[in-house]
Amino acid sequence: MNKTIFLPNGMEAVQAEYKEFPLEEFNQNPLIQALPPLLDKAAIIRKLMVRPIYKEEEKHAESIYRLHMVNRLFQLYTPLPVHIEVWNMIHTLILQGYLARNPFDKNYKKYINESGKQIINRSYEINSRQNFRTTSSCGTFIGFSGMGKTTTINRVLSNIPQVIIHNEYKGTHFNQIQLVWLKLEAPSNSSLKALCLQFFMKVDELLGTNNYKKYVSRNMSVDSMLPLISQVAHNIGLGLLVIDETQNIKKRGADQIMNFFVYLINTGINLCLIGTPGAYDLFGKELRMTRRLTGNAEIIYNNMKYGNEFSFLLESVWKYQWTRNFVHYNEEFGKVIYEETQGISDLVIKLFVYSQQEAIESGKEELTINLIRKVAKEKFRLLQPMLDAIRSGNPHKIAKYEDIRKIELEGANIRKRSEVKREEPVRRKKVDEVKAIEKVEKPKKKTKRNEYNENDLRYLLQQGKEEEKSPYQMLFEKGYIEDASKWIEMKQL
């Protein structure tokens, strides 16, 4: 176990202890050998899992105390397959990024020294890498709001020491402070300068340095700050820069920030970008950006479908009941809770907590289907439009809320259109053959409805003809349009 030490500013760090890895390339780099060993799935689950305090006898305590005991469920963390994927992504980013940044490598030391001189002489060129071949990359973690993206990243990072102190490596003096990871939040105003200032402030807060005073007090421009950030990151051995809430990056200023991300990767700094589906549009503008910013892993985490994953989460929560009467889990409970939460993990926990609190306060002291429905109706009042949109599966309704857009469905449609486009020349070549076949033997006429996808409006209109319904009636029934009569009545008033 690493020895804990305290920096002069009072922040906690660990003393470097070097481990041997089965991979030869890892065993020549102190920045890698000081990191925790790699773990298998079972060990990762044990590291990530958080169980709340729970004792069977607590259900006999007074209700006023049990209302607070139920809140312990907000501390529960149950690892799912996607969380193991995130763990592996974070560790891979850090390890691979350090490969080209060996402080004992002559070429790397030359690159750092020459970059430093150019910054001092103000002759540094952002696009020049001086023959430095980076091994850094970027990972993206995008998913529904409420699915625990930030919590997952924090759980993974909490198992990696943030600050490591080096003194000696293999008998050689090696005085180095290693900042393994740093987490920032994307500024809501899409200001690159705000992001740069946040970087300097966080580094100073953790390490007790004075970068903010040194560089910001001079009223330096953003262009002048970029090489300084890269140089500081190399000097402190920064392994991973995590940027959360990337959906805050709006159109104005987005290109500048995205170029900054690409610049950091090119100069050897690893990135991990986290956000809701609203951030996904940032990655599709240019191949240069997309290739770099999705270079290591692209994890998409939508709401859970009703199935094994959802049932596993709910069953892991279900055993924590502070009501006097314990109710066993069954599929009916699972279906109702899924219907009321649509597989959003944050809402699953909240509904289970609020339902228990309602059962305790009302004196019923047990969970029932009606109780859960009642609590969901009262507590999720503001969320109902979004939940209704998810339930409907209607792209028109879902598009109103960026946080609940299902990304892979859009990606599948894009891929499908691309495949059709690629196949078009082949089809043209076969037109004459097809026409000849049709002359010989005409196929049975298909109904137009079979030719269209169920999400195609033409499918609905054809269905309306068969059911003798007007186009307006069909579109109204499927939720594509609203009843205009209420607007007319309001106007008359």
Token pair in block for residue 383: 């969320």
The side-by-side arrangement of strands in the sheet containing 163-169 is 4-6, 12-15, 163-169, 172-179
Q: What is the predicted pLDDT for the residue at 134? A: 82
Q: How far is CA 286 from CA 105, 136, 283, 293, 296, in A?
A: 34, 19, 7, 11, 17
Give the pTM.
Answer: 0.80
pLDDT of residue 486: 54
Can you give the residue ranges of every domain in the chain? 4-34+80-301, 447-493
Rounded to whole angstroms, the Cα distance separating 367 from 372 reads: 7
d(CA 91, CA 87): 6
Q: Which tokens hold the place of 65?
A: 């105390």
pLDDT band at 296 (very low <50, low <70, confident <90, very high): low
> Quick one: pLDDT band at residue 431, thresholds 50, 70, 90?
very low
Higher per-residue confidence, 314 vs 491: 314
What is the model's pLDDT at position 493? 52
Q: How far is CA 332 from CA 40, 283, 338, 367, in A?
A: 35, 41, 10, 12
Task: For residue 474, give every residue at least 6 positions away whose Cβ sits within 8 Å of its Cβ, in sequence order, or none.
Answer: 460, 461, 463, 464
| For residue 149, pLDDT beyond 70 | yes
Query: Per-residue b/e over 119-129, b at no fewer than 16 CB within 10 Å?
Result: eeeeebeeeee
| pLDDT tier for residue 113 given thresholds of 50, 70 and 90 | confident
Query: Taking 50 as the threshold, does the pLDDT of residue 281 lie above it?
Result: yes
pLDDT beyond 80 at 461: no
DSSP three-state, residue 384:
helix
How far is residue 290's CA from residue 253's CA, in Å, rounded to a whole number?
Answer: 17
For 224-234, the pLDDT digits (tens) are 888 899 999 99
* CA pair distance 304, 155, nearest whole angstrom: 20
4-34+80-301: CATH, from 3.40.50.720, 3.40.50.300, 3.20.20.70, 3.90.1150.10: 3.40.50.300
Residue 488 has pLDDT above 60, yes or no: no
Reduce the DSSP state of residue 184 to 3 states and report it.
Answer: strand
Query: Which of 243-252, 420-429, 467-476 bottoms out in mean pLDDT, i.e. has the lowest?
Result: 420-429
Task: Round to whole Å and give the CA distance between 130 and 111.
Answer: 7
Residue appearing with tokens 């952002």: 126
Tokens encoding 362: 């009302």
DSSP 215: I
Q: Is the distance from CB of 200 to CB of 226 less than 8 angstroms?
A: no
Listed ranges 81-90, 116-125, 252-261; the one with the highest mean pLDDT: 81-90
User: Among 253-262, 304-313, 436-445, 480-489, where is mean pLDDT lowest?
Assistant: 436-445
pLDDT at res. 86? 96
Residue 411: what pLDDT? 44
Of the CA atoms within 13 Å of residue 424, those in its CB half-sphere come to 6
Region at 329 (left for phi over 0; alpha for psi -120 to 50; beta for the rest): beta
DSSP SS3 for 138:
strand
Residue 417 has a pLDDT of 39
Half-sphere exposure in the Cβ direction for 260 (13 Å, CA): 27
Q: What is the DSSP string of 274-310?
A: EE-GGGGGGGGS-HHHHHHHTSSEEEEE-PPPTTHHH
* Reported confidence tier of residue 221, pLDDT bands at 50, 70, 90: confident
* Residue 126 confidence (pLDDT) above 70: no
Q: In this structure, what DSSP letter does residue 383 have?
A: T
The pLDDT value recorded for residue 460 is: 72
Where does 170-226 show beta strands of DSSP type E? 172-179, 181-185
Residue 426: the pLDDT is 44
Which backbone phi and psi does 178 adopt, to 5 degrees? -110, 115
What is the pLDDT of the chain when averaged over all its residues?
83
Burial class of 5 by CB neighbour count within 10 A (0 to 12, 13 to 18, 19+): exposed
In this prediction, residue 287 carries a pLDDT of 44
Give the mean model confidence (pLDDT) for residues 277-282: 78
Average pLDDT score over residue span 16-35: 94
Q: Which residues contact 266 (CB under 8 A, 6 or more apart)?
A: 129, 134, 292
Q: Are 275 and 142 in contact (CB under 8 A)?
A: yes
Q: Which two tokens stand for residue 344?
A: 């959003």
